């Protein structure tokens, strides 16, 4: 797991201060690209793109990736570049997992109350007891469903994030 803390030094801030370099970062955030692809997308000369890519590589925001199969050079974001463009992705995952855990615990508690209302204890048997309390079952199912949904979303976000990093 990577560290989400980034130190922005003068060199990195300088690299981020250029609109051209910011646009290059945004473009390769979508997918890895060659100099030619970036040149076409940003409507800039290849030499300008290449100069700016060198500065971005120098600050460890972008990395060069040689594709041996196609003999092309692709540029893609580094961990540092991804974290700068998406600083709060891990926070979203943590919030979803926390919500999932709370929903599941709440669903289990509601299920306990439903079972308890359905099967009264010996001391409660002398009183008039309703057959069961359906509200406990309904709340239980809702909370357990939400817990499952939040868990799925958190793991899906994590998987997408790992695929982007590969």
pTM over 0.95: no
Look at the alpha carbons of 154, 2, 84, 5 in this order and tell me if their dihedral is positive or negative: positive
Q: State the residue for tokens 């982007």.
A: 164
pLDDT at 52: 92
Q: What's the chain's average pLDDT?
A: 81
What does residue 127 show for φ and ψ, rounded to 5 degrees? -85, 165
Per-residue pLDDT at 154? 82
1-21 pLDDT, tens digit per residue, is 445 556 677 888 888 888 899
Distance CA 16, CA 138 (A): 52
What's the pLDDT tens digit per position in 83-92?
Answer: 888 777 677 7
Tell me what percent of the residues of the chain surpass a pLDDT of 70: 81
């Amino acid at each position: 797991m990577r560290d989400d803390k980034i130190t922005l030094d003068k060199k990195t801030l300088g690299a981020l201060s250029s609109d051209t370099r910011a646009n290059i970062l945004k473009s390769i955030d979508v997918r890895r690209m060659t100099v030619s692809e970036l040149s076409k997308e940003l409507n800039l000369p290849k030499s300008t793109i290449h100069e700016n890519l060198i500065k971005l590589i120098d600050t460890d925001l972008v990395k060069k990736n040689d594709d041996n199969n196609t003999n092309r050079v692709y540029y893609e974001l580094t961990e540092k570049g991804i974290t700068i463009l998406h600083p709060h992705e891990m926070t979203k995952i943590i919030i979803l997992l926390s919500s999932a855990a709370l929903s599941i615990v709440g669903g289990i508690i509601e299920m306990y109350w439903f079972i308890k209302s359905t099967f009264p204890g010996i001391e409660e048997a002398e009183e008039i007891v309703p057959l069961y309390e359906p509200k406990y079952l309904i709340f239980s199912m809702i909370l357990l469903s939400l817990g499952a949904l939040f868990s799925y979303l958190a793991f899906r976000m994590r998987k997408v994030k790992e695929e982007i990093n590969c």
